[in-house]
Amino acid sequence: MPREFTRSDRVASQFQRELAELMRIEIRDPRLGMVTLSDVEITRDMSLAKAYVSFLGAGETPNRCVKILAESAPKLRHALGKRIRLRVMPDLRFVYDDSIERGSNMDRLLSSLGSDEGEDQEAAESP
């Protein structure tokens, strides 16, 4: 019977929990605003961990915020090494996750289509 989750999936899940906690405690940069860790993907060979982040109320552009997080990656990696026991700790890379923005844009487009259809129906009904 095949396994439902690979080891890298299980490690990524643990990484996400621990990294979110560490980012909340360790990173005190007001330029970042509120940082949300949406997902962590780890390569099969456990050499690289991509952390997908988004920012709310950031004083900087998303690219600048990712660079700020990248500067603190060694410190976070060291703290993760104390919390998670692995033979080799993966390198941390932060990637900006724009799915929230894309979702809100899609919602706005759909609602504008809905309001346009309502206007079209009202125009067709009134002779």
pLDDT digits (tens, 9 = 90+) for 67-124: 999 999 999 999 999 999 888 899 999 999 988 888 888 999 999 887 766 555 555 5
Cα dihedral 17, 19, 25, 29 in deg (nearest 10): -140
Q: What pLDDT, on a 0 to 100 scale, did the predictor assign at position 2?
A: 63
Q: Residue 122: its pLDDT value, please? A: 55
Q: Greater confidence, 127 or 78?
A: 78
Residue-level pLDDT at 32 = 85
The per-residue pLDDT for range 4-20, each reduced to its tens digit, is 778 888 889 999 999 99
Residues 6+ apart with CB under 8 A from 14: 84
pLDDT one-digit tens code per residue, 21-68: 999 888 888 888 888 899 999 999 999 999 999 988 878 888 998 999
CA atoms lying within 13 Å on the CB side of residue 67: 5
Distance in angstroms (rounded) separating the CA atoms of residues 127 and 125: 6
Q: Given the structure tokens 């079209």, which residue do they identify?
A: 120
